[in-house]
Structure 1
């Protein structure tokens, strides 16, 4: 049995435990649920996870959509991203991790580092007030927009073509530390995909190796940090379970039906929306401060 298969089995056991914790929390607060935006949020989850599977990313799309429609409170956005998208990302990981071969030790250590980083990050983010969350989300969107533009234009590390299937020695240490930091940033709304691909390419690995690292890291870290957000009550309880199901449907459609799309123009549009949304977060934070 390969390391990827073992990781997937453990991942789904962990995801099942995570889902039980989530359902119990939602049921315990069933009388407090505001379902007015549930349909909209569920649709956004389907769309975001569909494009996530095709490589654009889900966090920035969902964050922008929720901000524009005010369908998720600003202080609940980081937690909702990690709780609602955790299981759809597990579906993504199942599709990709079985298709691409890479060094087992590199994969396991980089995923473990991301998990530890996410648990630490969730404890920090879940305790921030609304103004700080808005600033963090604004900065996150600007960073993601810049990295995304570099990615689609093959700028910087995205123009490097590596061949390695894994890392050794000092390079492995650098990769593990980098993924630990990305795990922390993931809880603040900075998607792990594009930054992780940049690191993989900078360290000389093949571009396709980024996919099991990215998907595997997210599939483990979202439920891991999601449990913290659930215990703190820092997520949108009403919409999360429906978003899990529609998000998984979006992943399956992209993974097995629509396997590729001409996404360049759409990606540029998403970057513009991210910048506008970041400005909105900064403006709201400034108003609150005043």
Structure 2
């Protein structure tokens, strides 16, 4: 089964890479050399942190919002398009580390992909002010989840023993992961909510890692195709950060292994709340 997942993942990543880079080459958007350096550093650092469990959606939004290198309506797309391939590499590296029930893994992966496809089609067509309203509400919620995860509050402090789900719990897992896949396209990272879901359903918290990484590895390419079609993403950043992001993943897996991320998580949570306030102020100004 591990070999099957590896072959499918690699096939999807190669097909997506060809599709994305063909779009980038076709449109040939130019950017300054300094910005290209920033994109490269961003890709490496954020994917290194993502591999260590911080997540990349919130951090990439903070980067683009603070540097003003992408408009607000590009933020959800950037989080999917730019990080799809590095996250796929994460899944390949972590696939055989944790034991998880095959039926649970496959059904939850499929449901997240379907949710992402539906969500991306909707989000890519939303007006920028609608996206601002959505992000203004969602980002503080993500900040709270990050803080809860950091301190082991709520479901993050639960210690189940199951490696799979059956019956009603499996149905709940499939449905909720569908919703998480859809929310992923709005800029809500899947890692922390998926970990909380697994804990609430009585699974060992470590089982969440192949489920959440696999969900993102399989949902981000098809969701990103919708964003690439719309053109609402930063093409120069995608071209550079995708490559440096892979090196960030490898550095975290083979070299860094672990690092103190408590302070960083608090900073990210604070930035998310700041971003939410800035979206609200922008909406008021435009009115």
- Cα pair 2:89 2:249 within 8 Å, conserved: yes
Alignment of 1:29-108 (within 5 A): 29-30=27-28, 32-35=29-32, 37-108=35-106
Could you list the runs of 5+ residues in structure 1 that have no partner in the other structure?
none
- Cα pair 2:57 2:187 within 8 Å, conserved: yes
CA displacement at 1:243 relative to structure 2: 0.8
Query: Which residue does 1:213 correspond to in 2?
Result: 211
Alignment of 1:1-290 (within 5 A): 2=1, 4-30=2-28, 32-35=29-32, 37-288=35-286, 290=287
CA displacement at 1:201 relative to structure 2: 0.2
CA displacement at 1:129 relative to structure 2: 1.1
- Cα pair 2:9 2:92 within 8 Å, conserved: no
- Cα pair 2:132 2:279 within 8 Å, conserved: yes
Give the Cα–Cα distance (whole angstroms) in 1 for the partners of residues 241 and 24 of structure 2: 13
- Cα pair 2:117 2:182 within 8 Å, conserved: yes
Give the Cα–Cα distance (whole angstroms) in 2 for the partners of residues 141 and 252 of structure 1: 29
CA displacement at 1:35 relative to structure 2: 4.3
Aligned residue pair count: 286
CA displacement at 1:113 relative to structure 2: 0.3
CA displacement at 1:196 relative to structure 2: 0.1
Give the Cα–Cα distance (whole angstroms) in 2 for the partners of residues 222 and 255 of structure 1: 21
Give the Cα–Cα distance (whole angstroms) in 1 for the partners of residues 275 and 44 of structure 2: 20
Secondary structure at the aligned position of 2:99 is classed as: coil
CA displacement at 1:134 relative to structure 2: 1.7
Could you list the runs of 5+ residues in structure 2 that have no partner in the other structure?
none
Secondary structure at the aligned position of 2:186 is classed as: coil
Moved more, 278-287 or 18-27: 278-287
- Cα pair 1:5 1:98 within 8 Å, conserved: no
- Cα pair 1:125 1:187 within 8 Å, conserved: yes
- Cα pair 1:77 1:235 within 8 Å, conserved: yes
CA displacement at 1:265 relative to structure 2: 2.0
- Cα pair 1:35 1:239 within 8 Å, conserved: no
| 1:201-226 deviation digits (Å, cap 9, x = unpaired) | 00000011000000000001110100
| 1:253-288 deviation digits (Å, cap 9, x = unpaired) | 111100011221221122111111221122122222
- Cα pair 1:122 1:187 within 8 Å, conserved: yes
- Cα pair 1:132 1:285 within 8 Å, conserved: no
Give the Cα–Cα distance (whole angstroms) in 1 for the partners of residues 108 and 6 of structure 2: 15
The two structures have a TM-score, normalised by structure 2, of 0.97
Give the Cα–Cα distance (whole angstroms) in 1 for the partners of residues 24 and 228 of structure 2: 9
